Amino acid sequence: MDKKTYYVTVQSGEIMEDSTAFNYDFVINANEEEYDQIKQLFEDTADAEFATYSHSFPLSLSTYYNEENSTYDNHLRDIYIKLHELGTTETRQHIETMHILDSNTKT
């Protein structure tokens, strides 16, 4: 499959082909399947973030809340692993300086 260049911002979960459409953090090259994988990771992370937020008020520091945080953190880490895998040299170097992958880089 042919790869296209995409521009990604993790905070808002956006991945677009147009670099002028928004401020982006990372540049990746992905085929359609890889693009779909990243979109799914963003959706999973958003769901986990919502669960963390919705449970934080009544259960502040409970075990359940910590499990929800762990799920969110794992999804976010998966995003960075995938971005590192598909990223340009600059993207990979930037992610490496964040030290988010130090203990388990898949690439």
Residue written as tokens 């203990």?
Answer: 103
Residue predicted with more confidence, 22 or 4: 4
Using an 8 Å Cβ cutoff, are 16 and 45 in contact? Answer: no
pLDDT digits (tens, 9 = 90+) for 46-91: 877 666 554 445 544 444 445 556 787 888 999 999 999 999 999 9
pTM of the model: 0.77
Domain coordinates in residue numbering, the chain: 4-98
Return the axis-axis angle of helices 63-86 and 32-59, rounded to nearest 10°.
Answer: 160
